[in-house]
Chains A and B, each alone.
Chain A
Amino acid sequence: MSSDPDKMMSKADKMTKLTLTRWSADWRGATELYEQAANGFRASNKYEKAKVALEKASKGQEMQASPWDAAKHMESAAALAQKLSIWNEVVDFYRKASELYVECGRAQPASDALGKAARALEDVKPDDAIQLYTDACEILEEDGRDQMAFDLYRACANVYIKLEKFTDAATFFLRLGVAADKCDATNSQCKAYLSAIILYLYAHDLQQAEKCYNDCSQIDAFLKSDQSRSASRLLTAYNEGDIEEIKKVASSSTVSNLDHMIIKLARKLPTGDVTAIQMNTNDDLDEDDLT
């Protein structure tokens, strides 16, 4: 019961090392010591050592066949690593924690762990963050809890938007739509489709936007919704080059109910080329007519 965490650590290490006098490691005692040491380090703000202690405590719990406690310790270790900005360790720890949660059969905490990791990495390593978000969504979908995946999809799409990869973001919104369809969340589904269409328009890709609108109109729920009406108004306004109408739709209440990133993009919408698009399509028609 020494109060010095270092001493506890060394004692616990000795307990786990197999020597001639010790044939089997005493994980229980060691784990307890590790946990106490970690608390002591945290209290004295020695985060590096606390992290190490938590890692070892988690290993101990795993050896004792209690994956839940192990996962919890791993998460705490990952949080400390985040504070210390050791990013690859953050990823590793959270992934390990998530695996342990899956071992317990608890999908929600598993995806939560990956979500936390992704959020930590959003600014620093966005690609890894996206990978983490995707994995988290997969875990939830496997478990049949698609509704919880909505937030993750939205966060992932936001990361893509920050990276200005609009088509990828739109793809994620479409995946959101699929997930929403599975759980009959029609409102989220329609909002997701409208967001995708707006993203395509923001990327100047009118054909893709129209294709997307046509595809989504196959779905009854979207066809009858306010969002599809706003989408069709937006597309006709684009086709006619009517900037006023675009602005009006972008500030309507339907659009203002989407994610705030999408609202920002929608407000900036006629991204310059509207009349050019219109003239192009007109020229095409004229050529066809003449020939």
Chain B
Amino acid sequence: MPVIDIIFRVDEICKKYDKYDVDKHREIGTSGDDAFSRLFTSIDSDIEAVLRKAEMASTEKNRAAAVAMNAEVRRTKARLAEDVVKLQKLAVKKIKGLTREERESRCDLVIALADRLQAVPDGNEHGAKQANNEWGGASAPNKNIKFDMSEEDMDDGFFQQTEESSQFRQEYEMRKKKQDEGLDVISEGLDALKNLARDMNEELDKQVPLMEEMETKVDGATSDLKNTNVRLKKQLVQMRSSRNFCIDIVLLCVILGIVSYIYNALN
């Protein structure tokens, strides 16, 4: 095996088992500012994590998820802000083996850390910008409103408000008027319908007894007709049977006549 390979492999193994190197740690540990640097490194890594999360939130398409992420970022920022305060206290502490310059540099480091933390985007600025556009600056976060300045701001922003919202109001009034006109037309139509329906109702009520009377009369007439039909049928049957009988008799007579004529002729 080439030497280079061996060296690389050894390095890797050392890195892997670095955490078990007690001496190395003791070396780092005896630098004296363990609390500060530990807290510093942890806050640093947390800030990195928050930054990453904030980036993810800004690229998130789903607005609900984005809002949730931003809320979490803000929560983490608040927690880290408290930690930064603690760090500041630690930085000011006088520790054995620490020079004055080092202490000042630590304070600067802490301030830089705090700035980094504040700079993490958490969705607030974006929302505030939007609100500004819509309402012309009237709904900026409360702590930014100072009375004297806001009057000037109000003048410029106010004008914009009346232009847009007055248009909106005009349109609303026009639509409302159109709706009212339409409803008036409908109500007139309904009135006419109601009157017509009532008159029809009364007319039908008038017709009801007439129809009943007509029904009874027609019933009587049908039964009369049925009776007459039956009797007529009986009569016809009777007549025809008697007619057949007469025909029989007539034919008999004719035959007798023929027979007697032949008898006479023979004699």
Contact = CB atoms under 8 A, between A and B. Distances in A.
Same complex: yes
Interface of A: 145, 147-148, 183, 185, 187-188, 253-254, 257
Interface stretch (B188-196, B233-241, B243-251): B188-196
Contact of A148 (B199, B201, B206): B206
A148 B208 CA distance: 12
A145 B210 CA distance: 10
Nearest to B203: A147
Interface residues of B, number: 11
B202 A188 contact: yes
Contacts of B205: 147, 183, 185
B199 A187 contact: yes
Nearest to B192: A253
Interface string B181-222: 000000010011001001101100110010000000000000
Given A187-B198, A187-B199, A187-B201, A147 B206 contact: yes
A253 B191 contact: yes
A254 B195 CA distance: 8
A59 B199 CA distance: 43
A146 to B, nearest CB: 10
8 contacts: A145-B209, A147-B202, A147-B206, A187-B199, A187-B201, A254-B195, A257-B195, A257-B199
Contacts of B206: 147-148
Contacts of B198: 187
Contacts of A148: 206
A22 B93 CA distance: 161
A257 B188 CA distance: 12
Q: Ordered nearest first, which 9 A-B pairs have the shortest CB separation?
A: A253-B191, A187-B198, A257-B195, A147-B206, A185-B202, A187-B202, A253-B192, A188-B202, A253-B188
B202 A254 contact: no
Nearest to A148: B206
A185 B198 CA distance: 10
B21 to A, nearest CB: 101
Contacts of B192: 253, 257
A60 B132 CA distance: 107
Given A187-B201, A253-B188, 15 more contacts: A145-B209, A147-B202, A147-B205, A147-B206, A148-B206, A185-B205, A187-B199, A187-B202, A188-B202, A253-B191, A253-B192, A254-B195, A257-B192, A257-B195, A257-B199
A254 B199 contact: no
Contacts of B191: 253-254
B241 to A, nearest CB: 36
A1 B201 CA distance: 54
B211 to A, nearest CB: 13
Contacts of A257: 192, 195, 199
Contacts of A188: 202
Nearest to A151: B206
A145 B205 CA distance: 12
Contacts of A187: 198-199, 201-202
A148 B206 CA distance: 7
